Amino acid sequence: MGFQLGLAAENGFGRDFYAAYRESHPLDPGYSSRKHLYNLYHILNHANIFGAAMSPRHRA
């Protein structure tokens, strides 16, 4: 599950990478639900660092 946490945070690999990864290392049951929780850390961290700049009205 640890590497899956890293996969949740990194979205720049592309579809081919993720397809090959899932073929050789099937995702643990419940990953699709946990992925949102894993990403929450990064959202809260950016909100803490950048404050108001992260508010929806400042996003393009």
Helix/strand/coil (H/E/C) assignment for every residue in the chain: CHHHHHHHHCCCCCHHHHHHHHHHCCCCCCHHHHHHHHHHHHHHHHHHHHHHHHCHHHCC
pLDDT band at 11 (very low <50, low <70, confident <90, very high): low
Cβ(28)–Cβ(7) below 8 Å: no
Q: What is the mean pLDDT of the chain?
A: 76
Per-residue pLDDT tens digits for 26-44: 888 998 888 888 888 888 8
Higher pLDDT, 16 or 3: 16
Q: What is the predicted pLDDT for the residue at 22?
A: 86
Q: Domain residues for 6?
A: 2-58
Q: What is the predicted pLDDT for the residue at 4?
A: 59
Report the C-alpha gap between 58 and 33 in whole angstroms.
Answer: 28
Q: How many domains does the chain have?
A: 1
Report the C-alpha gap between 1 and 9 in whole angstroms.
Answer: 13
